[in-house]
Structure 1
Amino acid sequence: MSAPHGINPNIPHSARVYDYWLGGKDNFEADRRVAEQTMAAVPGIRESARNNRAFLGRAVRHLSRLGVRQFLDLGTGIPSQGNTHEVAQAEAPESRVVYVDNDPIVMAHARALLTSTPEGRTAYLEADVREPRTILEHPDTLATLDFTQPIALVMVAILMHISDADDPEGLVKAYAQALPAGSYLVLSHLTLDLIDKRTADDYVAATSSQAMHRTPRTGERISRYFDGFDLLEPGLVAVSKWRETPLFPDEPAWMYAGVGRKR
């Protein structure tokens, strides 16, 4: 894969590391090195990433069956199987999706591959999720989503890349305040709660020197993102345990996941 203009292939990026774990080909040597180093030190991290992708599909399908027809997908990642609009439009062809990512590679692939049904619509914003006003007020967002009707805010494995200094809870609130009652929050997040201390220490040691920032958080911290939302069953759980059968046994489990409905 050649690097597009403006992309430094020597700097790893979370979307491309994730793409490698999912079996994709849109990554560079620097991304593969980080992915392999993490896999060597962190048992089950690749399987957890794949379970996380499967959670996205299950959550979008479930909400589509509840009648949700609009999705704002933050931190889209490189297109893979079971993208948000594909799952939603398979259930309801008129579904509308806005994808947001800050990586030009992601957006180039998204515009080329994530084509909507004729009845629905997709839009793609190259933007930073830490700037909610830019995203919420973007003309393409407003042309695609109707903010008087329920919207599913998709924040799957994105907040772990937001440092505490950037106030992830405040970011969720800023997006949530723009959504009408009856909207949903679909969220997953890296945690060390569900593993033993030695494995957690190995993870910290393996990732502390990496350029790619990830912040694991406790279930108590992650649950705060759902303030103002009622969690759907089964609540905030290991990502593999959110409804239906996981792709892989999630032992050890690295991710929490949940879906909440805005009051």
Structure 2
Amino acid sequence: MKTPGKEQFPPAGVDLSQPSVARVYDYFLGGDANWEIDRQFADKLLEQFPIMRLIARSNRLFLHRLVRHLTKLGIRQFVDLGSGVPTMGHAHEVADQVAPGEVRVAYVDHDPVAVAHSRSLLRQYGDEDRHTAIHADLRDPAGLWEKIAATGVIDLDRPVGLLMIAVLHIRQLPTPDSPAADDLGPRVVDTYRGLLARGSYLGISHVTGEGVPDGTAEMLARIKAMYDSVGSPVLWRTKQEIQDLFGDFRMIEPGLVWTPQWHPEEATVTDETPQLDQANQSIALAGAAVKE
């Protein structure tokens, strides 16, 4: 998706007193849907950990390969939860490389800036019959599912590729209607698994502190402290905890691996390859599973 020059907003009600995880990620990927507060925070991270940009790109390219692979497996609908801002290729662009004009995509984010940019670009370069952007809260699966159904773009009674890419390590704090729990991630993902039709796929990438290169644990602790300090708390799960998010869905090959290791053959000449010396420098595990 092309990105025009920075538009003259944020939308009404957007808080620019604190950096946004979505907009910081956009900045790492070279996008322009970010503000000075986001760039200042991102630059502090990059000053200490220049590898953050390569980590972000490695994760984004996993999304590309995942969408290509699932489209080849016959998936023609995707729901991208925590889709972020339109940077470095959105899911429908990648899917159209495999099945032009056939794939429907619903982008969902809680950040009004991400949703506003997505809607603006979809109006210019998308197809309103096949693409939609929804402002909704990941922590409310039933309400979010209702909003998706109301668009008429996605048929939720048919198989869907549900994408939860680099979103579950952002701590899902309670909503006013939810129990007082510190991390709602596993319970929320369990609910989404139940909502999916048979034949659907769940794709996840998630930061972990387990199995990373020597010295990386200290880096992850400092990154966590920085995000926590600006009101965007994060958490790093173990490999087993990430595996458990797939529940009883059947993992597809190659299982849960570092992001660069997941179906590298699905990369195309248009993909920019991150220059990571070791796969575990990506600090994120990735996988996909099918509901049988």
Q: Same fold (TM over 0.5)?
A: yes
Secondary structure of 1:159's counterpart equals: coil
1:100 to 83, 103, 108: 108
Contact residue 31 and residue 88 of structure 2 kept, 8 A: no
The root-mean-square deviation of aligned C-alpha atoms, in Å, is 2.0
What is the match of residue 135 of structure 2?
126
Shift of 1:33: 2.1
Contact residue 165 and residue 205 of structure 2 kept, 8 A: yes
Q: 1:165 to 1:249 in 2, by over 3 A?
A: same
CA distance in 1, matches of 2:32, 2:126: 23
Give CA-to-partner distance per residue, 1:171-222, whole Å, 9 cap, x none: 1111111112211011101111132453212331243143122211111100
Q: Structure 1 residue 143 and structure 2 residue 172: aligned? A: no
Shift of 1:117: 4.0
Contact residue 150 and residue 183 of structure 1 kept, 8 A: yes
CA distance in 2, matches of 1:3, 1:112: 12
Segments of structure 2 that go 5 or more residues without pairing to the other structure are 1-5, 173-180
1:116 to 122, 126, 130: 126
What is the match of residue 35 of structure 2?
28
Contact residue 23 and residue 33 of structure 2 kept, 8 A: yes
Per mean C-alpha deviation after superposition, the further-off stretch among 76-85 and 87-96 is 87-96
Q: 1:52 to 1:206 in 2, by over 3 A?
A: closer
Q: Which amino acid aligns with 1:58?
A: R
Please list, as runs of the form range in 1=range in 2, the aligned pairs for 1:1-263 lying within 5 A after superposition.
Answer: 3-92=10-99, 93-114=101-122, 115-117=125-127, 121-138=130-147, 140-141=149-150, 143-163=152-172, 165-196=182-213, 198-209=215-226, 210-211=229-230, 212-244=232-264, 247-250=273-276, 251=278, 252-263=281-292
Secondary structure of 1:160's counterpart equals: coil
Contact residue 71 and residue 98 of structure 2 kept, 8 A: yes
Q: 1:36 to 1:138 in 2, by over 3 A?
A: same
Q: Which amino acid aligns with 1:238?
A: W
Segments of structure 1 that go 5 or more residues without pairing to the other structure are none
TM-score where L is the length of structure 2: 0.83
Contact residue 160 and residue 214 of structure 1 kept, 8 A: yes
Corresponding pairs, count: 262
TM-score where L is the length of structure 1: 0.92
Q: Which amino acid aligns with 1:259?
A: A
Instruction: State the percentage of identical aligned residues.
Output: 37
Contact residue 136 and residue 142 of structure 1 kept, 8 A: no
Shift of 1:48: 1.1
